Amino acid sequence: MSKVWFITGVSSGIGAGVARAALKAGDKVIATSRNLDKARHALRDVADENLAFVKLDVTSEAQVNTAVEDAVARFGRIDVAVNNAGYCLLGNFEEQTLPQIEAQFATNFYGVVHVVRAVLPVMRKQRSGHIINIGAAAGVIGLKHCGAYSATKFAIEGLAFSVGIEVEPFGVKFTTVEPGAFRTDLLDSQNVRYVPSSGIEDYAGDATSEATWSSYHGVQPGDPDKLGAAVVTVAAMENPPKIFVAGTDAIAMIASGIEGRLNPDRRTDLSDHPQLKTKGPDTMKKIAFGAAAAIALTLTTTAYAQDSRPPGYMIANYTIKDQAGYNKYMEEAGPLAPKFGGKIIVFNLNATAVEGEPKKVMAIAEFPSLADAQRFYNSPEYTAARKFRVASTEGSVIITEGFVPPKQ
């Protein structure tokens, strides 16, 4: 059965990519934008009887309500609502004015609130629906000059987690997409809002936000059309992820940020924490990885979408403090994964950036199931090898399922 999509911000980038992919899948799309000329131009190659354009400023609750009512009147239902409309305010937080910050929230946060409040009654009545909010990696870790922007993205993630609990009994699901750098118009000079220096002496020696960020426009590695296709894949899942981390840069940033929260003093492997030992592997998975990274998907892998049993993964992020000891660990642990049906699919040993600094490691081993990953981790053979790693590194190891890492 085809789906009906209600998408905000389709005039470029991710919104256009999702609309294009949904139409290609045979679905119906209500494509909304403040600028319908730009929206029509963005989707000029996909003219379709299943496509309806609606002028919409998401900061207006009344306009959102009318747009949703019109969508239901035309297509009879709304299966997927994608909150993509937004822009970026960049500058030192102290130099941002309160009206600028309020305007940022009016679009990026309250725009989402208006759409969610408008579509929830429709979806509850249907006893089905999927709300997909386009967040950002900056809404998990925070970035310089992004104070207000990051705050709006943190806010929509919290909103989705909380409201999702309330409406899950009615068949309504939430997914927050956390993209890295994609070639959208977010940093286009017509869209981004750069905050000029206000003359605060302490910031005088720093590069301006415009000087820092403008050079990234148009050269971001992510393809918004591929992300659009991935979002359509997520919407087709019977049990979609609550978090969809899109792009290898986002995965790396978010994994590092979560590791810092979970293990701020970096003293030991999380799996060796007394609470995790006594409460078992299922609790270890929940505590160690948390809701913020329970599932991440790449743009190049879609097989998991129809797989009833997701793979299991052992994900390691740590710093080598004793190279000789780590080499012993690799000699013993390296050959073990295949014995348990696993394989090493990511291994990044970054070159030392500054002489004398220890190396960073990210490694991911994939197993047929979570149970296989846990069986490997708790096996006598790996337990013996793990002693060398615990002694020679600082960082964390996470056991999870459903994570689909980037192809190398």
- The predicted-structure confidence for 37-58, as pLDDT tens digits, reads as follows 999 988 988 867 899 999 999 9
Mean pLDDT across 190-195: 85
149 belongs to the catalytic site? yes
> In this predicted structure, what is the pLDDT of residue 158?
94
Q: Are 130 and 138 in contact (CB under 8 A)?
A: no
Do 39 and 100 lie in one domain? The reply is yes
User: Measured on CA atoms in the order 94, 96, 101, 104, is the torsion positive or negative?
Assistant: negative
100 within domain boundaries? yes
Mark which of 246, 271, 303 sits at the end of a domain. Answer: 246
Do 122 and 237 fall within a single domain? yes
In a domain, 146, yes or no: yes
CATH number of the structural domain spanning residue 297: 3.30.70.100
Q: Are residues 341 and 299 in the same domain?
A: yes
Whether 348 has a pLDDT exceeding 70, the answer reads no
* Residue 407: inside a domain: no
Looking at the 3D structure of the chain, how many domains does it have? 2
* One domain, residues 382 and 295: yes
371 shares a domain with 321: yes
pTM of the model: 0.67
Is 365's pLDDT higher than 70?
yes
Domain stops at, among 246, 272, 298 = 246
pLDDT at 217: 76
The CA distance from 256 to 246, in Å, is 15
Does residue 94 belong to any structural domain of this protein? yes
Examine the fold and report which residue of 204, 230, 246 is the final residue of a domain before the chain moves on: 246
**Domain range holding 216?**
4-246
Residue 75 lies in a domain: yes
- Across the range 20-39, mean pLDDT stands at 93
212-270 pLDDT, tens digit each: 777 777 777 678 888 898 899 889 988 888 888 887 677 777 776 776 666 655 433 43
Q: Which residue has the higher pLDDT, 328 or 308?
A: 328
- Domain shared by 198 and 276, yes or no: no
Q: What pLDDT does residue 302 have? A: 31
What is the percent of the chain with per-residue pLDDT over 70, rounded to a whole number? 80
Q: What is the CATH number of the domain that holds 63?
A: 3.40.50.720
- Would you state the pLDDT for residue 191? 80
Q: Give me the mean pLDDT over the 287-304 stretch.
A: 33
pLDDT, position 131:
97
pLDDT of 64 above 60: yes
User: Angle 336-338-343 (CA atoms, 0-180°, nearest 5)?
Assistant: 105
Nearest alpha carbon to residue 120 among 175, 167, 157: 167
Q: How far are the Cα atoms of 199, 334, 338, 374 from residue 386, in angstroms, in the given order?
A: 54, 11, 17, 14
Residue 107, Cβ density class (10 Å: 0-12 exposed, 13-18 middle, ≥19 buried): buried
The answer as to whether 408 is a domain residue is no
Q: Are residues 346 and 231 in the same domain?
A: no
Rounded to whole angstroms, the maximal C-alpha distance in the chain is 68
Is 406 inside any structural domain? Answer: no
CB-based contacts of 233, cutoff 8 Å, min separation 6:
297, 302, 305
Residue-wise pLDDT for 366-375, tens only, equals: 888 878 888 8
| Residues 153-182 pLDDT 10s | 999 999 999 999 999 999 999 999 988 878
Q: Which of 87, 110, 149, 382 is catalytic?
A: 149
What pLDDT sits at residue 300? 30
SS (H, E, C) 30-48: EEEECCHHHHHHHCHHHCC
Claim to verify: residue 153 and residue 192 sit in the same structural domain: yes
Verify that 95 and 233 share a domain, yes or no: yes
Distance (Å) of CA 297 to CA 171, 199, 250, 253: 22, 43, 11, 15
Q: What is the pLDDT of residue 26?
A: 92
Pairing between β-strand 172-179 and β-strand 4-7 as defined by DSSP bridges: unpaired
pLDDT tens digit sequence for 229-245: 889 988 998 888 888 88
Which tokens hold the place of 310? 């997701």
| 112 in the same domain as 36 | yes
Q: Residue 293: its pLDDT value, please?
A: 34
- Do 214 and 78 lie in a common domain? yes
Quote the CA–CA distance of 321 and 352 in Å, as a whole number.
12
Q: Is residue 30 part of a domain?
A: yes
Residues 49 and 80 placed together within one structural domain of the fold: yes
